[in-house]
Amino acid sequence: MARVPASEFQREFGRLRGVAHREAVIVTSHGRDDVVLLSAEEYQRLRSLDRRAMHVSELTDDDLAALDAVEIPAEAARYNHEMT
């Protein structure tokens, strides 16, 4: 991963753009990591790994059946008071 100060990033954008196609480029500001330049392909790959919360109404019948079949471990009983 390349790390460059913002001033160098401004001067060397063309070169660093090429670097970003091979590896992430971290741009620093005042010595601290500020932003990261990634290729569009890498960004889309990372976005595809995002988890998304679902509402229960979005679950399929198969999903609900799978959840219904899960056996709750006995040690989980200590959390039952949280349901009241």
Q: Is the pLDDT of residue 3 over 90?
A: yes
Look up the CATH architecture of domain 2-70. 3-Layer(aba) Sandwich (3.40)
Domain boundary assignment for the chain:
2-70
pLDDT beyond 90 at 70: yes
What pLDDT score was predicted for residue 54? 85
16: which residues sit within 8 A by CB, 6+ positions away?
2, 4, 9, 25, 37
pTM of the model: 0.61
CB 2 within 8 A of CB 24: yes
| Identity at 7, one-letter amino acid code | S
Gap between the Cα atoms of 79 and 82, Å rounded: 6
**What pLDDT sits at residue 50?**
87
51 pLDDT band (50/70/90 cuts)? confident
Beta-carbon contacts of residue 19 (< 8 Å; ≥ 6 apart): 2, 25
pLDDT above 90: residue 49: no
